[in-house]
Structures are given as C-alpha cells and as structure tokens.
Amino acid sequence: MFIRKQSFILLFTVCAFLTAGPANAAAPRIIGPDMKIVDNNIIVSISIDNFKDFEKSIKAGIKKKIIFTAELLRAWTLWPDEFIVSKKFEKVIKYDNLRDQYLASSYDGITRVQKKFKNYDEMKDWILNPNTFNLTNTKGLESSNYYIRVIVESKSIDQIPLIGILKNFIPAVEMSLAKESDHFRVGDNK
C-alpha cells in the first residue's frame, strides 16, 4: 500500500512538471483603458495584446466569445467605491474550414455587426484592437473623482461534449483580465 501511494505521488509530480508551461511566456494584457471626455461624453478605448493561443484554438474549430466590460466607478476615501454605470459588448469568432474564412460578429447591446475575413491578422485587428465606445454622459454625475475598470473575458462556446461530472472541471471562462484607469475628476476644477 505504501509503495502504491509513493508511486502515485511520483507519477502526479512528473505529470504536473511535464504539463507546466514556460514561466516566461508573455501573458495576454489589456492596453488602456484610454479615456477622454468629448462633448460631456466619456469615450473609452481598450484593446488586448499578446493573445497567443487564440489562432490555434479558433482554427481547431472552437467558437470563441470575447466579452469586454467597462465600468465607471466613483472613488471614495473611507467607503467602498461606488458603481455608477457599465457597458458590455461581445465579439464572437468562428473559423469556417470549408470556406477557409473567419466569421466574426460584434454586439454592443443594440447593434450587431457581422463580418467575414480571409486573413487572420485582419480579423484579429478587428476583434482585439481599439474598441472605442461612449460609456456615459458626465452631465448627470456629481463632482468627484472617478475611474474606469475594464474586464475582458474569453470563453469557448463549442466544447467537446463530456459525460456527467467531467463537465464541471472545464472552466466556463478561459481567460479573465481586469485593469483600472487612473483617477480623473468630473465636475468642478479642484
């Protein structure tokens, strides 16, 4: 019994060592959020960089959904920060290997845009590079310090069907990144 237990521990350690990825691999990161106020509207721009395994998983036939969420929060000194408003939009990508093209769509809660791409780099630029949108109008906001939190999640929509309990071990969200902007002042000029 003792030898079996030791063998299992050794086998588990070897498998964990062999499946571990390189420690110096560049992880995906959010660029931005860049924010500017134009005509009393808070305009936000975000993008993703270093999304390495993106092409391989899409070409394998896995449909991907990338969800961008931007939240406006009011900064407080002694209290938890106050949630004001958020905006979410989704981008979905699927590779059609019969036609050798990428099918992509974008949905911001109001408008759905669908595109087809032959070139991977063009599709990647459309999906991951500057996504600019109007978060909210500043006229209804109180004079205070605010900041923007951006959350980017990647999910696989088409997963291999698994039996029973094995489905619970596959994560629903494959990648989740978050980043906050610098604080900015809305209202009086102090």
Q: Is the pTM of this model over 0.85?
A: no
Q: What is the pLDDT along the chain (190 residues), one digit of tens a residue?
A: 556 555 555 545 544 544 444 444 567 778 778 888 888 888 888 888 776 667 777 877 788 888 889 999 999 988 898 999 999 989 999 888 888 889 999 998 888 999 999 988 888 888 877 678 888 888 888 899 999 999 988 888 765 555 555 555 555 667 788 888 888 888 765 4
118-124: long-range contacts at Cβ-Cβ below 8 A with a sequence spacing of 24 or more?
Answer: 120/55, 123/93, 124/51, 124/54, 124/55
Judge: domain 30-186, CATH 2.60.40: yes
